[in-house]
Amino acid sequence: MPKKLRESNSRKDKIEIHHTETCKIDKFTLPPDACFKGYDEVVIRDILIMPWNTRFQIEKYYSPSEGKTYRGKLPEGINGEFGPGIRSAVIALHHISNVSEPKIHEFLENVGVCISRATISRMLTKNIDNFHEENADIFHAGLKSTTYQQIDDTSARVNGENWYTQILCNSHYTAYFTVLHKDRETILDILLCGMEKKYCLNEEAFDLMETFNVAKIWQQKLSDYKNKVFSDEEMHRILALLLSPDINKNIKKRILEACAIASYHQMTNIPVVTTFLSDDAPQFRQLTYHHALCWIHDGRHYKKLHTTVPYYQEKVKAFLNKYWDYYVKLCEFRKKPNSDVAKQLSAEFDRLFSTETKYPPLDDRISKTKEKKESLLMVLNFPEIPLHNNGAELGARAKVRKRDVSLQSVTDEGTRANDTFMTIVQTARKLSVSAYDYILDRVSNRCEMISLAKLIQEKSALS
């Protein structure tokens, strides 16, 4: 049977039948000896789009003795002038299908729903605290679900300003956070899951200061506070007392980053990420104990080596063939980890990236890849870590597509709502859950569907 036909039948098996109608034949057209042989079944898929307005007559009674009026209650999920069907449709159109607010208004008006643009805007941003709570639960469950987290960022517009959207994800979820900056402290604020930021001057903090090139003289001045933990206000007060007013702002920033990271690593009341998988952007470094790099990102640098000389073109092509052959071996290793194979792959990496081609730009690129050996070969120690960061890049692409339709958010409420619903929609997709059904279930207050956070926990336990 052809593949396309098999797939088509498979989809039809999943179709829920809402109505059955019998197409009868005019029996006067049949010959006398015709016998009934059952039915041929044809499933026609269709959709009904129409207003459904309900008038609720709310009973009320008055007690003269108590001087009090008693009223009946509206059904659960009814809030304001519009029912859960319209509210869910507005959210789904905007956040699942990337339809702009003016076009949602135009569509609803065309099907006979009398609604204002301001009302549509309020549906997308107001009275959605339950979704914000679900968003926080998804992120918390996602951080606990794997030993690593993937991270990437993309630009965003908020009220005419350039902001950034940080995307954190793994195979179970994708979470979005639109923030003003994309430095280490901002990413750390996200990882803290709303907890207060602390600053710890332990041994790790001083090691990080060394890594961040903080001069010994400033480290020495902070040594009196060793192994102490301070709040944000206390830490800034200490730095104001110890450091010169004319000190380079970057020095102060690096000290704060080092102490905040050291404090984060000591926390026990939130999931602490031990491994990041990302591109080689500097803001992602040092936040976790381990930092794995994406092979696809590294490979793109070789494709940028444009040359018009055929001899050098062949050199680049030949090396890239070896590069991707080695990548395939790493993919096979992930499926069947083996310590002996890991040693062989490590030695092969050294040989491959010690190649000299006599083409200076290519040789320089090869040496840069070799310097990243520890991060590129993190998979040899932790086979569960992917070799590429495509998951985060696909999450970023979804944000870009939304930005193409709705250029920017204007208010903090709108920015937060966009992040929340993008997290829910993209996570539902990874968990094979209907995002529309899930939104309708929550908007109507039925809450019959299992939460996405709970599903993440169950899937991570199985994997």
pLDDT digits (tens, 9 = 90+) for 277-303: 999 899 999 999 999 999 999 999 999
DSSP notation for 25-52: --GGGS-TT-------------------
pLDDT in tens, 417-462: 999 999 999 999 999 999 999 999 999 999 999 999 999 999 999 8
pLDDT at 244: 74
Q: What are the pLDDT digits (tens) for 202-258?
A: 999 999 999 999 999 889 989 889 999 999 999 999 988 887 776 778 888 999 999
Q: Whole-angstrom Cα distance, residue 438 to residue 456? A: 15
Q: At 407, is the pLDDT very low, low, confident or very high (cuts 50, 70, 90)?
A: confident
**pLDDT, averaged across the chain:** 92
pLDDT score of 48:
85
381 has pLDDT over 70: yes
| Inter-residue contact 455 to 431 (CB < 8 Å) | yes
- Identify the helix (H) or strand (E) that includes residue 199: strand 198-200
CA 402, 398, 126, 74 torsion-angle sign:
positive
- Going by C-alpha positions, the residue among 380, 332, 434, 395 that lies closest to residue 96 is 434
Strands 198-200 and 229-231: antiparallel
d(CA 104, CA 112): 13
In this model, does residue 6 exceed pLDDT 60? no
Residue 10 has a pLDDT of 60
Contacts of residue 249, defined as CB under 8 A and 6 or more positions apart, other chains included, come to none
Predicted local distance difference test score (pLDDT) of residue 8: 52
Is this prediction's pTM over 0.85?
yes
Evaluate whether 414 touches 124 at the Cβ level (below 8 Å).
yes
DSSP 290-355: EEEE-HHHHHHHHHT---S-HHHHHHHHHHHHHHHHHHHHHHHHHHS--HHHHHHHHHHHHHHTT-
